[in-house]
A = this chain, B = another copy of it.
């Protein structure tokens, strides 16, 4: 387990992220990254032990890209700002964002984000012993929502396909007027966040 070089890691991760953003995750090969950086594929193995570690680095990079949150805001406003920050990162990097679920990050950036969420929950009045669970609940929902959005699970085309296919099932029939209309995902995200706050801060 030899020591890894670190100097060009940011440059390599930039190249990898650019490839994933432009051409998708399937196009993200060690060879493609090396080409973009201007080295041989094998040079990358001086910086990352293997492709999995490079993908972990990419998740860390996404967390480092989270927009900072105004510390003047109250707890609830900070949580909302962070939720929108997650969603923006997902929309900017739709191919990479879903990796957040499968590659739990423990980088300094990841821990800093967790700490900000903990602090916001504490400021909302969540009891200390409930904060870790509420953090998992909130981040799970927000990451799941953003992943669904960027992966097409909430797309209008999937919705109308389901509406068509379910036309003779009872609940689909009753709900037909609401299943295939236009969708405003911005508004739905906000409505869901408002509901989420009712869990976090029972009045």
Contact = CB atoms under 8 A, between A and B. Distances in A.
Interface string A107-143: 0101110111011001000001101110011001101
B188 A195 contact: no
Contact of A152 (B104, B161, B166, B169): B104
A179 interface: yes
Contacts of A119: 170-171
A177 B188 CA distance: 36
A162 to B, nearest CB: 6
Contacts of A129: 178
Interface in A136-193: 136-137, 140-141, 143-145, 147-148, 151-155, 158, 161-162, 165-166, 169-172, 174-175, 177-179, 188, 191-192
A161 B106 CA distance: 7
B136 A140 contact: no
Given A111-B162, A153-B101, A166-B111, A188 B133 contact: yes
Contacts of A199: 195-196, 198-199
Interface majority SS on A: helix, strand, loop or mixed?
A: helix
Copies in the complex: 2
Contacts of A191: 133
A141 B143 CA distance: 9
A175 B90 CA distance: 29
11 contacts: A101-B101, A101-B144, A101-B151, A103-B151, A104-B155, A116-B171, A122-B174, A136-B154, A136-B188, A196-B199, A198-B198
Given A136-B188, A143-B144, 15 more contacts: A98-B102, A104-B158, A106-B165, A118-B172, A118-B175, A128-B174, A131-B171, A136-B148, A136-B154, A141-B144, A144-B147, A195-B199, A196-B199, A198-B199, A198-B202
| Closest 4 pairs (CB-CB, A-B) | A144-B144, A118-B171, A115-B169, A119-B171
